[in-house]
Amino acid sequence: MHFWFVCNKCGKESPFNLKESKCDCGGTLLVEYDLERVSKTLTKERLKNRSTSMWRYSELLPVENEKNIVSLGEGWTPLVRMNQAEEKYPVKKLWIKREEQNPTGSFKSRGFSSAISIANEYGVSKVAVNSNGNAASALAAYASYAGMESHVFVPKDCPGLIVDECVQYGASTFLVNGLIHDAGKIIEDGKQEQGWYNVGTLKEPGRAEGKKTMGLELAEQFNWNLPDVIVYPTGGGSGVIGIWNAFQQLKQLGFIEGDLPRMVSVQELGCDPIVSAMENDSDFNSQTENVISKPTGMRVPNPPDGDLIVSILRETNGTAVTVSKEEIEQAQKTNGAQGISSSPEGAATWAGFTRLVEQGWIKEDDEVVLFNTSHAMKYLPWEATGTPTIKTYEDWKKVSENVLI
Amino acid sequence: MHFWFVCNKCGKESPFNLKESKCDCGGTLLVEYDLERVSKTLTKERLKNRSTSMWRYSELLPVENEKNIVSLGEGWTPLVRMNQAEEKYPVKKLWIKREEQNPTGSFKSRGFSSAISIANEYGVSKVAVNSNGNAASALAAYASYAGMESHVFVPKDCPGLIVDECVQYGASTFLVNGLIHDAGKIIEDGKQEQGWYNVGTLKEPGRAEGKKTMGLELAEQFNWNLPDVIVYPTGGGSGVIGIWNAFQQLKQLGFIEGDLPRMVSVQELGCDPIVSAMENDSDFNSQTENVISKPTGMRVPNPPDGDLIVSILRETNGTAVTVSKEEIEQAQKTNGAQGISSSPEGAATWAGFTRLVEQGWIKEDDEVVLFNTSHAMKYLPWEATGTPTIKTYEDWKKVSENVLI
């Protein structure tokens, strides 16, 4: 196998395994590749002739046999230059990376194309995920396309349209009376008995690897000269980790050089543990109370890799910023009026951008990229139709028995 | 100017003009290009180094100065191979072309990128469109990005989510008590007084030209060897016309050769004038009564270019097929269960495909492409929030006066 795990904390190497992503020491297991082998086939020149999906970088994704790839046309999303905004704000160049143009209407398509491809390679037939929304519908779509059974568990205040999307994609779908980690506990409690493969954030290595393609792609779209600042909405953080990891690998391959872009995490007021650690100049701690933000992809009070996210922001001279619900709503309108449909998470990057411009943190000669992670329309105040609500794995067993009878 | 009009019926040439698309003889004005000049810069080899938006084919789009291009990242949408379905149906190869991955969630992005670029080149500042939905939100997005004022008029039973999208993109949005041509009449009645540039179907040359890129792109993605059958949902018909026109130009340029794909139009029961003409082997006639189908992009009882659509289907040995509301709903489920989110129009192509397989019209050795024109989620039974309903231009004047006061 030309890829294996390396712990980002203790440095220990171990064989690649589809059911791990954390080291015994508490560090994160990143996938490392035989870059000498990779560099024989992955060249800037050859890339020009490849398919425009994220699988153009297949040497840097942990799938051995190309026939196992499960692709619905994810990646190679457009970068749109925001000309009107450049005239209004003191910034050199501004782009929005349109991740909402992925197959399931969000950047989550990338992580699940990769995770489900790995699952496919290992013959997995039943997959499960906990999510605040877009990850659930992405899992559902990729699992169905691959012919796998999917089980999704989302907080009951998750956007109803996304819940209905999961049902549309054929997933067995449940609302959970609790937050995203309560939903995750149901999967952990049931996975042995039910044979579920848990595809939750950082429960397996595929999702972070898939998101890495955002960084690979950004570098290639910028002709291997990276922008100065990247603004990303942060919940579980695998987006930030993936992009940073991409840049590390591209440096080692000699595709890029120099300083990395300053990475910025945006969180919502009411759930911002990354911002707390950055502002207090302290170690990362989960947020244990007062989680009062809206149910978006940013609402993750205890991201399994908070340490790593914080260290990436520090290492790149980045920062983290909290924005309010009202600022997000205003940013959705502003983006709409410039022709861009933004989810709350995507709009949060616009709100973070304007805040950092005001603070003088983003400067006149900066080239800035904002990630628009999903469409506005997925977040209508629509009520999901007929999806049952549960609290525990025991509840699930009862409900699913009833469904079966 | 290296492009001009040619009438498809009488053959008369005339200068390109942004406000025309019909000849005095009743024929359609197609845009013709100086192909000798085009072929100097547009080559198969050069295409490999171009941007992956529809503007990679800029020599075949009627914009003179590249700085006038209004692009939000439209085109170069994925072609997904439907492996599971290929095992179930007697067909050689089956793909879905994922037009829902365009910037505004539908294929309409292409037509408006082109139409608004032309408007931009001519200094237009106010644009208006009548639409059953997705054209309206696409106009709104492109106009806002270009800094133009937009006015959209949609039948009042148009999907509410799309209506709200228009508002989100900053368009002045009105529901109309009537069908799409009633909405069009309001624009025609008001355009002089209000200075609106009418971007309705085949009122100007840009939209059909933009849709042409679906054909250019399909040919390139198939490495210049076209599939056997193309199935397309048909309302106004500019998609079918655009794809066919693309193939004509590619033939003249020597990029493709041989028979064209058999083109198939799918319509919904209750509004199928194209199918009537094909089945009766007669001239095209508008449907004047019993328009009872759902408000989708296929509901156009009197497409301005019905003649041309019918002649394209005949010329390519194609056909037209009517599917019911129930078949469309079932096809949405089937597509969902294979990981594809389909609007009613997109799902209609699946329903048409299965019907034509049953009839033996699609054969075992056929390679077939279905166009999925938009996302399922746009068609939730959601009520638009607070958009006024009108019937005539006089109504509009009263309502907009009130709004202004």
pLDDT one-digit tens code per residue, A343-389: 999 999 999 999 999 999 999 999 999 999 999 989 888 888 889 99
- Alpha-carbon distance of A112 to A140, in angstroms, equals 9
Please, which residues have CB within 8 angstroms of residue A39's CB and are 6 or more apart in sequence?
A253, A254
CB contact under 8 A, B337 and A169: yes
Please, which residues have CB within 8 angstroms of residue A248's CB and are 6 or more apart in sequence?
none
Please tell me the predicted confidence (pLDDT) of residue B118: 98
**Chain A neighbours among B 131-190 (CB < 8 Å)?**
141-147, 161, 164-165, 168-170
Q: Which residue has the tokens 């003179």?
A: B64
Q: Going along A294-398, which residue ranges are E strands? A: 319-323, 367-372, 389-390
Question: Is B110 a residue whose pLDDT tops 90?
Answer: yes
How is residue A121 written in tokens? Answer: 């390679």
Residue type, A128: A
CB contact under 8 A, A376 and B161: no
A203 touches chain B (CB under 8 A): no
CB contact under 8 A, A168 and B333: yes
**C-alpha neighbours within 13 Å on the C-beta side of residue B140:** 31
- Cα nearest neighbour of B382 on chain A: A382
Of A84, A142, A170, Cβ closest to residue B147: A84
A72 touches chain B (CB under 8 A): yes
- Alpha-carbon distance of B399 to B337, in angstroms, equals 45
| Cα torsion through B334, B338, B344, B348, rounded to 10 | -70
Cα-only R_g, chain A: 20
Alpha helices in B253-300 (DSSP H): 273-280
CATH number for B79-102+209-379 (one of 1.20.1290.10, 3.40.50.1100, 3.40.50.2020, 3.40.190.120): it is: 3.40.50.1100
Q: Contact, B102 vs B74, CB < 8 A?
A: yes
Per-residue DSSP letter, A76: -
- Alpha-carbon distance of B317 to B337, in angstroms, equals 32
- Cα nearest neighbour of B381 on chain A: A382
SS3 category, A33: strand
pLDDT one-digit tens code per residue, B333-364: 999 999 999 999 999 999 999 999 999 999 99
Q: Contact, B387 vs B173, CB < 8 A?
A: yes
- Positive/negative CA dihedral, B399, B401, B403, B405: negative
N residues, chain A:
405
- Alpha-carbon distance of A255 to B185, in angstroms, equals 57
CATH 3.40.50.1100 fits B108-204+381-404, yes or no: yes
- Positive/negative CA dihedral, B313, B317, B322, B323: negative
Nearest chain A Cα distance for residue B338, angstroms: 5
Q: Contact, A331 vs A351, CB < 8 A?
A: yes
Name chain B contacts of A339, Cβ cutoff 8 Å: 72, 103, 141-146, 169
- Alpha-carbon distance of B277 to B237, in angstroms, equals 14
Cα-only R_g, chain B: 20
Of B52, B145, B376, Cβ closest to residue A168: B376
CATH number of A108-204+382-404: 3.40.50.1100
CB contact under 8 A, A98 and B101: no
**Chain B neighbours among A 279-338 (CB < 8 Å)?**
332-333, 336-338
Q: Contact, B238 vs B111, CB < 8 A?
A: yes
- Alpha-carbon distance of B4 to B52, in angstroms, equals 26
Nearest chain A Cα distance for residue B142, angstroms: 6
* Strand partners of residue A266: A233, A321
| Cα torsion through B105, B107, B109, B114, rounded to 10 | 170
Of A104, A333, A382, Cβ closest to residue B382: A382
- Cα nearest neighbour of B104 on chain A: A341
CB contact under 8 A, B73 and A79: yes
Of B76, B143, B165, Cβ closest to residue A52: B76
Give me the sheet containing B29-33, strands edge to edge. Answer: B13-15, B3-7, B29-33
- Alpha-carbon distance of A346 to A232, in angstroms, equals 8
Please tell me the predicted confidence (pLDDT) of residue B299: 84
Residue type, A396: W
Q: Among candidates A243, A245, A320, A244, which has minimal Cα distance to A281? A: A320
Nearest chain A Cα distance for residue B205, angstroms: 22
What are the two backbone dihedrals, phi and then psi, of residue A228, each rounded to the nearest 5 degrees? -85, -35
Per-residue pLDDT of chain A (405 residues; tens, 9 = 90+): 899 999 989 999 999 999 888 899 988 899 999 999 999 999 999 998 899 999 999 999 999 999 999 999 999 999 999 999 999 999 999 999 999 999 999 999 999 999 999 999 999 999 999 998 899 999 999 999 999 999 999 999 899 999 999 999 999 999 999 988 899 999 999 999 999 999 998 789 999 899 999 999 999 999 999 999 999 999 888 899 999 999 999 999 999 999 999 999 999 999 999 999 999 988 998 888 888 877 788 888 888 889 999 999 999 999 999 999 999 999 999 999 999 999 999 999 999 999 999 999 999 999 999 999 999 989 888 888 889 999 999 999 998 876 654
Per-residue DSSP letter, A98: E
N residues, chain B:
405
SS3 category, A32: strand
Q: Which residue has the tokens 């039910």?
A: A194
Q: Among candidates B274, B223, B250, which has minimal Cα distance to B60? A: B250
A101 touches chain B (CB under 8 A): yes
ipTM of the complex in this document: 0.94
Nearest chain A Cα distance for residue B36, angstroms: 27
CATH 3.30.70.1070 fits A79-103+206-379, yes or no: no
Pick from B52, B68, B69, B72 the residue to mutate for testing the A interface (most A CBs within 10 Å): B72
B107 touches chain A (CB under 8 A): no
Q: A209: how many CB neighbours lie within 10 A of its CB?
A: 27
Chain-centre distance of CA B88, in angstroms? Answer: 30
Q: Going along A135-187, which residue ranges are E strands? A: 149-155, 172-176
What percent helix, strand, coil does chain B show, rounded to 5? Answer: 45, 20, 40
* Percent of chain B clearing pLDDT 70 (strictly above): 99
CB contact under 8 A, A339 and B144: yes
